[in-house]
Structure 1
Amino acid sequence: MQSAERANHSASEISAQAHAPASLATMAMAAIGVVYGDIGTSPLYTLKEVFSGPHAVPVTPENVYGILSLVFWALMLVVSAKYVIFITRADNRGEGGIMALTSLALRVVPEGRSAWLLSSLGVFGAALFYGDGMITPAISVLSAVEGLEVATPAFQPYVLPIAGTVLVGLFMMQRHGTNRVGAIFGPVMVCWFVLLAVLGISGIRLHPEILGALNPVWALRFFANNPLIGWLALGAVVLAITGGEALYADMGHFGRRPIKLAWFTVVFPALYLNYLGQGALILDHADNIRNPFYMLVPDELVYPMVGMATLATIIASQAVISGAFSLTRQAMQLGYSPRMHTIFTSEREMGQIYVPGINWMLLGAVIALVVGFRSSSALASAYGIAVTMTMMIDTLLAFVVIRGLWNWGLGKAALFLAVFLTVDLAFFSATTVKIIAGGWFPLLIGGIIFTLLTTWKRGRGLVNARIRIDTMPLDMFIRSMFTSPPPRVQGTSVFMTTWLDGVPRALLHNLVHNKVLHERVVLVKAETADVSRVPERDRVKVEELDYGFYRVRVTFGFTDDPDIPAALELCRAQGLPIELMETSFFLGRETIVSRTSRSLPRWREKLFMFMFRNAGSAADYFHLPPNRVVELGTQVEL
């Protein structure tokens, strides 16, 4: 699923394992627990949807072989070749994910329409994550709990309440963090993949000849004999690769080698063995299409398997939830989202965060999906279209990177684009038939989130431009201090600003009302680089000016914690020691008012003003000590 950005993000689940030195095998196990939860639970519903979904493929030996061949080559081309072999090489200082890929692509295009288009593609791909991220917990947990119906139909009335209870419990635990349970994710998912392989082998024993489905001729023959059915079947086959993009998104926390090792030695073999086992079971008896995964399980082990599947889907859902938190934080850092209340749930791991507003929004949407669609089969109609759109965006951005940064020749880069974009378009076109049945939901959510993100980015740009126009140049202000010097008081005043060459409005208001200046006046600008993390040696740049003034530029990566007091401690090495207990932090609190001549459409201006009024505190966002903060109000015309 979109783990879009689940990356920078979902590795929060594994606690210290992701950052401490570890063996390749240990890192690979940790990656299995975080990266592959989503794609690892796909066997619960993929073949069931192919053969009994809205566009069910008739159960014949040729069709079963054809579908299994399609699944294998989809996993090979999209996951193994595109993501594991190629795109994981496009790291932004070790980080992956659509935000990192967008940053890389923007380095090789000039400012203008091309840069705007690439940036918009990246933001839209990130926005789609929220829509698909609501579906993943719902469909995963529902498909696991539905195994109870296989054991006995008497459980049917209780499937929705049980699934709802599991999901509510999952979201309720978010405020406590996942560092305590994160360490078990890897071993649990390894056990899950071992069970998938064992069940698959037990099914293959019924029809060992099913191994011949690896031959691509079966897939080609299936399309040749059933062109329309084959095309529609791709809309269900795509469920087998949802979550494949997560291995790139989470690369920064594990590295390319552990993710590659885990995929080729454990995840891929286990997944496909299970698909082959389900296919053999369907060949043995066509009635098994009602739930081929659980029909593989011996009767006496159905209940334990339901429990194990539920645990695996919880782990997969946890990665998506943590990804939503981290993606929101990245959006705040990059200026696409207003500040939101964020809680750090671990003292050791900065990636372990909790965003209450996003958590409750996701819970409400997930419960609404479960109640509204009522089954995993119905939810499958809403699943896939956002994933395929994100995969297309990844392919386009990767093409720009390999052409511009890797310096591939035009022919070689065009071949990359032609092969993978053709595959992406095939899957995307097949999922468009799901739009009316439920595919509209992730598109609607993605569209809404995209509108919010771009509105905030545009609105903040206009506000900053307006402030800059009305701001006195700093050098002029300092020169005026020599002719009419105000009284100076002991201590340090820190003024947060977006423009280091101008005088912050808060400074002028303080001077007008209090008639004094501190003996040291520090102007601080916090900015976000196009890399995920900035090392401490590059964090701050101090410039000493006349009359006790200093300019400090603080640079964070888009996954760094924007801790201004911690950054100011680094100024000591550059000749500016700052004692926090003797420092006052001054912030400007703007009030936006509308002008007669608008810079934004009326609806968008109203939306931005609503978001602006409800944005979180800058003091909280930058971790400023509450008892040292002074806020001064000002009006800005939009």
Structure 2
Amino acid sequence: MEISDGIEEDKIEQSQEEEVPHQQLKGKKLSCHKLRRHDSLDIESSSIRGLHGHDSKTMAWKVILHLAFQSIGIVYGDIGTSPLYVFESTFTKGINHNDDILGVLSMIFYTLTLIPLVKYVFVVLRANDSGDGGTFALYSLICRYAKVGLIPSQQAEDQEVSNFKLDSPNNSLKRASWLKSKLENSQFAKLFLLYATMLGTSMVIGDGVLTPCISVLSAVGGIKKATSAVTDDIIVWISVAILICLFSIQRFGTDKVGYTFAPIICIWFAFIGGIGIFNFIKFDPTVVKALNPQYIIEYFQRNKKEAWVSLGGIVLAITGTEALFADVGHFTVRSIQISMCSVTYPALIFAYTGQAAFLRKHIDLVGDTFFKSIPGPLYWPMFGIAILAAIIASQAMISGSFSIIQQSLSLGCFPRVKIVHTSTKYEGQVYIPEINYLLMLACVAVTLGFRSTTSIGNAYGIAVVFVMTLTSSFLVLIMIMIWKTHILLIISYVLVIGTVELVYLSSVLYKFDQGGYLPLAFAAVLMTIMYVWNDVYRRKYYYELDHKIPPDKLKEVITGTNINQMPGLAIFYSELVQGIPPIFKHYVANVPALHSVLVFVSIKSLPISKVPTEQRFLFRRVETKEHNVFRCVVRYGYLDVRNEHEPFEKMLIEMLKDFIANQVFWLSQNVLNNDENGGELDDGVVDGENENKDVKQVDEEKRQEAIEKEIEAVDKAWCAGVVHLFGENEVIARKGAGIGRRIIIDYAYNFLKRNLRQSDKVFNIPHKRMLKVGMTYEL
């Protein structure tokens, strides 16, 4: 399967991609591009360029093995504890025929091999978006190649970021170009991809609620086998206490949590694998016959509809598989491949094989297969490890939920929350306080509400299989457009993997009324939040785009006779990437004073993991007469840490001075004759063909003097004080809007905005130097 070189298999250490301090950038020879007549900033621009920070595709094996060890404790808790209940959940009405055990074992073996191992470990993990995984990573990868995003913030300069680039489709493969064209020209296709991504993401987060509930309840429920004095109420309240403790330790980060949990899960895998081998040798080595898929056919022939219904129990063997992909941002592709192939997969195969061998001799014990198959001397140690492992199982989906919400934020599909990067050694390990507490409250509510694992178990399958099917659908698009995979391989994937997942999906939907509605209910709530936020976000962006200040009007606003100039530097933030937002005119109309240096800043997230610091700032000069006014688009990736290694303000100003020092094309005859006649600086654009001629006309000493004078003006403004101006726009539905739009904008969106983190908190702006400018948008 051909894979684009633009999709990196591994990520490198944080230290290799850390933001470069401004002291290191200072003095670099930064080159400028030739200016375009029309570019994405409306007027000519240049991006600061330096050394390309290409990610290394190699990583020290010591680091990879460390991450592989950590991943065992974070990623595999859910799928690793499935042997506790798979056979019990499959044979809910007992075993009717001895060979049914072989049929179920055969399905477990091929399901584990096809889905977690072949599909995810060797195929899906390679579809990571510069190291990030999950449903939104697949969507953003498609957005990078095809223009299917609904926000018109794409810029030609984005293609210049070193790790943004993807291979273009081969002209001989018209299939890729045809599909890309269809997606880009269909508004329905764009909306469908976005909403399908939202739904899949919501299902994964919903699974992050269900997994802790069923894992902890299953673990604590085992106490009843040790003593009959423990009641169901006590079990429920103990479970609630454990859940609160589990979510409380998330703030310590994946790094510390992983090292804490990994040894326990390693011991767990060693126990279940060893006991499986013991049972296989002792009871029935002939269960290896289950490698023959003929037993699957015979199982369905004997049991018909009951066999199809039992697939809902077999699919529990692969619960938590999506965490392999969702959590790849916390680790690396190679580390997860190593831990899966060397530890998890063999241990699970041995465990299920040993249980099948035990059941062949003890059919009547299927209701308690796991604990009954443990040799006597190991029962109590295994019981203790099982409780710990079942509790840890919830960690995989909690970490995955943090990762995918981080991705959804960058695409404007989730309300603003604080992203905390918890590791200085490994990139991608994040913690989101608001989401952590909301997940905890949801888990506690489900535990107190359902009070048993039966209904929660029925809900498990729908969320898991639905997300797997969605991942396969997106993967087919990537195979066609980006990887340019041979059509026969794509058809084979769809026929084999796709068919298996659709059969499982049809089975788990059968249990919808038995608790299967729970993940759909969670998904409905989360998707409603995401839809409301994204819908109004897009409407606001288009409103500002339609009402932005034209260049000629901007001159009138800045050079108005009633405008006073004050010393200092003002940074005006907005979400608009192209042009000056309308809120600036509103500000000047009410405060007729401007600082000596004004920078319009747009914070923009690119659909990549990291943006090299020297490629982060995209500047242009807006006005070159009496005022120093600049436009700047600041580009971040998913995993970029904001304001932690270097203050944003200092970085911006240092980069602005570098831009001024390297921008030679704006100089006109005014610089040359400034001392002679004081003529005004020409505002026209210097074409590329006249570039050499103009530069030769400029006296080098006076050019350097002009640059130094302007940099000095920026330094003086900086010393005089920096003010951060935030455009806090209120949104209301326009007159005549339908009731649906009024509910979404006036009530739902504004409720979310009031109760979640504001922009100044996200960017850590000092309150003493912050000014909010309000304006009402009628959408």
What TM-score results when the alignment is normalised by the length of structure 1?
0.90
Alpha-carbon distance between aligned partners in 1 of 2:341 and 2:431, rounded to the nearest angstrom: 33
Query: Partner of 2:247 in structure 1?
Result: 171
Look up the match of 1:226: 303
Deviation at 1:59, TM superposition (A): 4.7
Change (3 A) 1:570 1:258: farther
Compared CA separation, residues 26 and 348, structure 1 to 2 (3 A): closer
Write the mapping of 1:44-193 to structure 2, written as runs, cut at 5 A: 44-52=84-92, 56=93, 58-106=95-143, 107-108=145-146, 109=180, 110-111=183-184, 112=186, 113-155=188-230, 157=232, 158-177=234-253, 179-193=255-269
Q: Which aligned pairs between 1:16-27 and structure 2 lie closer than 5 A?
A: 21-23=60-62, 24-27=64-67
Q: Secondary structure at the match of 2:140?
A: helix
Tell me the amino acid that sits aligned with residue 631 of structure 2: R
Question: Which residue number in structure 2 is paired with residue 493 of structure 1?
Answer: 570
Alignment of 1:252-271 (within 5 A): 252-271=329-348
Please say if 1:625 is aligned against 2:701.
no
**Partners of 2:235 and 2:770 in 1: CA distance:** 52
Q: Could you say if the C-alpha distance between residues 187 and 161 of structure 1 is closer, same or farther in structure 2, counting changes exceeding 3 Å?
A: same
1:334-483, aligned counterparts within 5 Å? 334-341=411-418, 351-482=428-559
Q: Deviations over 1:472-523 (max 9, x none)?
A: 2244212553463732222210001122544345533443333211111000
Residue 475 to residue 534, structure 1, CA distance change in 2 (3 Å): farther
Q: Which residue of 1 aligns with 2:35?
A: none
Equivalence for 1:603: 743
1:29 equivalent among 69, 78, 90: 69
1:396 offset after TM fit, Å?
Answer: 0.6
Distance 2:420 2:332 in 1: 27
- Correspondent of 2:640 among 542, 545, 560: 560
Question: Residue 534 of structure 1 aligns to which amino acid in structure 2?
Answer: V
Distance 1:477 1:616 in 2: 32
Q: Kindly tell me: are residues 480 and 149 of structure 1, through their superposed partners in 2, closer, same or farther at Cα, counting changes over 3 Å?
A: closer
Structure 1 residues 164 and 529, CA gap change in structure 2 (3 angstroms): same
Give the counterpart of 1:588 among 720, 724, 727.
Answer: 727
* Corresponding position: 1:41 with 2:81: yes
Aligned-partner Cα distance in 1 for 2:633–2:292: 59
Q: How big is the shift at 1:17? A: 14
> For the structure 1 residues 21 and 518, does the alpha-carbon distance in structure 2 shift closer, same or farther, using more than 3 Å as the test?
farther
Aligned residue type for 2:115: V
Identity percentage of aligned residues: 32
1:488 match: secondary structure = strand
Question: C-alpha separation between the residues in 2 aligned to 1:63 and 1:188?
Answer: 33
Give 2:682's aligned residue.
Answer: none
Whether the 8 Å contact between 2:250 and 2:257 is mirrored in structure 1 is no
Residue in 2 aligned with 1:243?
A: 320
Q: Secondary structure at the match of 1:213?
A: helix
- Determine if the alignment matches structure 1 residue 634 to structure 2 residue 775: yes
2:659 is the alignment partner of 1:574? yes
Which has the larger displacement, 534-543 or 132-141?
Answer: 534-543
- Change in CA separation of 1:411 and 1:179 when aligned onto 2, cut-off 3 Å: closer
Distance in 2 between residues matched to 1:59 and 1:366, nearest whole Å: 37
Deviation at 1:526, TM superposition (A): 1.0
Looking at structure 2, the residues matched to 581 and 37 of structure 1 have their Cα atoms a distance apart, in angstroms, of 56
1:196 matched residue in structure 2? 272
Matched position secondary structure for 1:584: strand
The structure-2 alpha-carbon separation of the partners of 1:193 and 1:179, relative to structure 1 and needing over 3 Å to count, comes to same
Q: Secondary structure at the match of 2:460?
A: coil
Superposed displacement of residue 51, structure 1? 1.8
Code of the residue aligned with 1:192 in structure 2: it is W
| 1:90 Cα deviation after fit | 1.5
Structure 1: which amino acid aligns with 2:774?
A: G
When residues 28 and 345 of structure 1 are mapped into structure 2, their CA distance, relative to the original with a 3 A threshold, is closer
Work out whether residues 145 and 306 of structure 1, in 8 Å CA contact, stay in contact via their aligned partners in 2: no
CA distance in 1, matches of 2:431, 2:330: 18
Q: How far, CA to CA, are the matches of 2:303 and 2:650 in structure 1?
A: 63
* 2:276–2:352 contact (8 Å) kept in structure 1: yes
Structure 2 SS opposite 1:554: strand
Q: Distance in 1 between matches of 2:205 and 2:719?
A: 39
> Partner of 1:630: helix, strand, or coil?
strand
Q: Give yes or no for contact 2:329–2:429 (8 Å, CA) kept in 1.
A: no
Q: Which amino acid aligns with 2:237?
A: P
Distance 1:215 1:152 in 2: 43
Amino acid at match of 2:486: G
Provide Cα deviations, 1:189-239, integer angstroms capped at 9, x if missing partner.
222211110121222222222232222222222122222122111111110
Retained in 2: the 8 A contact 1:565–1:580?
no
Structure 1's unaligned 5+ residue stretches are 1-10
Residues 413/349 of structure 1: CA separation in 2 closer, same or farther (3 Å cut): closer
Describe the shift of the 1:593–1:603 C-alpha distance in structure 2 as closer, same or farther (beyond 3 A): closer
How many pairs align? 623
Offset, 1:32: 1.8
More helix by share: 1
Partner of 2:630: 550
Q: Per the alignment, do residues 26 and 354 of structure 1 end up closer, same or farther by CA in structure 2, a change over 3 Å counting?
A: closer
Q: Is the CA contact (8 Å cut-off) linking 1:473 and 1:501 kept in structure 2?
A: no
Cα displacement (A) at 1:613: 3.1
1:177 Cα deviation (Å)? 4.3
In structure 2, how many angstroms separate the alpha carbons of the residues matched to 1:629 and 1:94? 36
C-alpha distance in 2 between matches for 1:272 and 1:444 = 34
Residue type of the alignment partner of 1:202: F
Give me the whole-angstrom Cα distance separating, in 2, the residues matched to 1:574 and 1:15. Answer: 27
The CA deviation string for residues 20-71 of structure 1, in whole angstroms up to 9 with x for no partner, is 844243332222222222211111221121123xxx3525311111111110
The letter for the 2-side match of 1:78 is I
Tell me, in whole angstroms, the C-alpha distance in 1 between the residues paired with 2:109 and 2:308: 16
Residues in 2 aligned to 1:245 and 1:501: alpha-carbon distance in whole angstroms = 38
Gaps of 5+ in 2: 1-10, 19-58, 147-179, 661-710
2:599 counterpart (494, 505, 522): 522
Equivalents in 2 of 1:261, 1:593: separation in Å?
Answer: 53
